[in-house]
Amino acid sequence: MQISGAEIVVRCLQEEGVEFLFGYPGGAVLEIYDAIFRQDKFKHVLVRHEQAAVHAADAYSRSSDKVGVALVTSGPGATNAVTGIATAYMDSIPMVVISGQVATPAIGLDAFQEVDMVGITRPCVKHNFLVKDVNDIADTIKKAFYIAKSGRPGPVVVDIPKDVTQQRAEFHYPESVHIRSYVPATRGHPGQIKKAINLLLEAKRPYIYVGGGAVQGNAAAEVTELVKSLGLPCTNTLMGLGAYPGSDPQFLGMLGMHGTYEANMAMQYCDVLIAVGARFDDRVISVPSHFLSQPKKIIHIDVDPSSISKRVKVDVPIVGDVKHVLREMLDILRQSGQKPDAGHLAGWWKQIEEWRGHNSLLYTPSTELIKPQYVVEKLYEITGGKAIVASDVGQHQMWAAQYYKFDDPKQWLNSGGLGTMGFGLPAAMGAQLANPDATVACITGEGSIQMNIQELSTCKQYHTPVKIVALNNRYLGMVRQWQEFFYGTRYSESYMDALPDFVKVAEAYGHVGFKIENPSDVEPVLREAFGPALKERLVFLDFRTDQSENVFPMIQNGKGLDQMDLPPHMRDIQQVPFENNRDYGNMC
């Protein structure tokens, strides 16, 4: 029996086990929306802006093992989706975005709501398709899901012209896909694995650096086993938080621009580094030449060969699925029973403990002003460290990453690569739908939240009782911090004047709001918001925080991992002098 292209789209999504479709209707997708109306296998979530649909689908993927799906119309619907697609691309998140397109005969004629979606998204997708024949829809969607979740994951766009959704064809959903030009790596090279093990066993100062690849590659258990069995110190990147338990003593904290003193010092001074699903990006190692000025051997495990030796030349590249590769390493280590030299390791730990003893995340408490770090610490306590935390972008994001100790992967959702303000609320919404029983918090600022605040309406409609923890300092905090440090305190356009009354905003959308101005109210209000009485409600917590607080430690542009700007109590520590590392210029 022949069915319409639109019905084929819907059937494909059903075959893929899609639970929620995040979208917004419009002219080019009306056929598909009509087919959605006539089915009840999956639920459509009507967002208030297409960007939010894509962030929600992205977070649905990030917080589960499934692939999030978004549906947008042509033209402005498609362009609104682009920020969300680029966000997912930079963080390697599997996702399928279906966009409507004007009818095939109208393509290229500057038709109403026409935009070259395949062209616009080409640099920010893993792959994209324009479906020109109704007979190709099922195959294409099958391929889209396969490409999105295999290898190094990423978003895939399927652009479907309106007439194709109206034409009719037989529906047959392929069981498997074969793409001759696409064969993702799985097993690592045994010789390389052997070399890596030998290097690790000979190390005097070994260190393991774990990125988002371990979270996406479901390798947290293997990472933890390796770290535990060899007694290694471990750090996670911003994207890797949760891949190794944040509350474990072998965890040195996050590294990078706002990493802890011990995590950054260990990165600089280790002699054997094993990088797992991480990419040595500028926010992590800063200047490659300075990073390499301390001699070290580097083992790099990654599913994407192009991530290896991109910024830093490595000694032992291992291309493969991180879970697979680590499993093989663990098997070999277990059989041989070998361990790194205990004496050397003890010396290394002694040095690390000395670094850690400085307590680089210490901040000055206040009884007058609410310290943002204090709010995150209390949130951690009250949620028992078990909440899914979606964050926006800015100072609050860094404080969340520093003070909420994520023990599990897929618990921390943030736009690490692209740094998209406005990600937090729709992400929290997507995560809540994927995890209906979980406590979901959105840590945000008064700047970021306003970039997608309209989603309070969607949250009402679909009963997603997320808790919004807004660290409201009346500044675009990270911008203000940079202006304080590097632009002579000229706070150009970083002050947020004429802010709305967020409590009233929340109430206007049918939610609950609190404004918290005293440090002594932080804990009781958090307890109330996360307590049983408000379990089913979205709560907006507007914390009026200290306006002058800065994120420390901080590595300035062009400086090295051991040249941090430290918090006031650590300013007398002798650090390596700053030689002008200019080879990568000002990367902002």
The binding site for another protein (CB under 8 A) comprises: 118-119, 122-123, 126-127, 130, 147, 179-182, 304-306, 309-310, 313
Closest separation in Å from C-beta 524 to another protein: 51
311 — alpha (psi -120 to 50), left (phi > 0) or beta?
Answer: alpha
Helix axes of 30-37 and 5-15: crossing angle, nearest 10 degrees: 60
Complex with another protein: residue 508 or 587, whichever CB lies closer: 587
Only one residue has tokens 């402005």, namely: 76
Closest separation in Å from C-beta 319 to another protein: 10
Complex with another protein: residue 88 or 400, whichever CB lies closer: 88
Complex with another protein: residue 126 or 323, whichever CB lies closer: 126
Complex with another protein: residue 89 or 207, whichever CB lies closer: 89
The C-alpha angle with vertex 152 and arms to 146 and 158, in degrees rounded to 5, equals 40
Asked if 147 and 127 touch (Cβ cutoff 8 Å), the reply is yes
Asked if 559 and 578 touch (Cβ cutoff 8 Å), the reply is yes
7, 50, 328, 446: the catalytic one is 50
15, 113, 202, 579: the catalytic one is 113
Measured CA to CA, the distance from residue 445 to residue 582 in angstroms comes to 33
Measured CA to CA, the distance from residue 168 to residue 135 in angstroms comes to 8
Q: What is the DSSP letter of 259?
A: -
Active site residue 112: yes
Closest separation in Å from C-beta 181 to another protein: 4
Proportion of the chain in helix, strand, coil states, percent, rounded to 5? 40, 15, 45
Q: What is the DSSP letter of 188?
A: P
239, 398, 421, 478: the catalytic one is 478
The C-alpha angle with vertex 222 and arms to 383 and 239, in degrees rounded to 5, equals 55
Active site residue 162: yes
CA quadruple 157, 162, 163, 169: dihedral, nearest 10: 60
Q: Which two tokens stand for residue 453?
A: 């605040």
Closest separation in Å from C-beta 437 to another protein: 37
Closest separation in Å from C-beta 318 to another protein: 15
Q: What is the largest CA-CA distance in the chain?
A: 78
Measured CA to CA, the distance from residue 169 to residue 8 in angstroms comes to 8
Measured CA to CA, the distance from residue 373 to residue 365 in angstroms comes to 9
Complex with another protein: residue 181 or 335, whichever CB lies closer: 181
14, 37, 39, 112: the catalytic one is 112
Closest separation in Å from C-beta 37 to another protein: 32
Closest separation in Å from C-beta 127 to another protein: 4
Active site residue 50: yes
Q: Which two tokens stand for residue 291?
A: 């990073």
162, 371, 410, 559: the catalytic one is 162
The type of residue at 75 is G
Asked if 362 and 374 touch (Cβ cutoff 8 Å), the reply is no
Complex with another protein: residue 140 or 165, whichever CB lies closer: 140
Asked if 204 and 348 touch (Cβ cutoff 8 Å), the reply is yes
Complex with another protein: residue 306 or 338, whichever CB lies closer: 306
Q: Could you list the active site residues? A: 50, 112-113, 162, 478
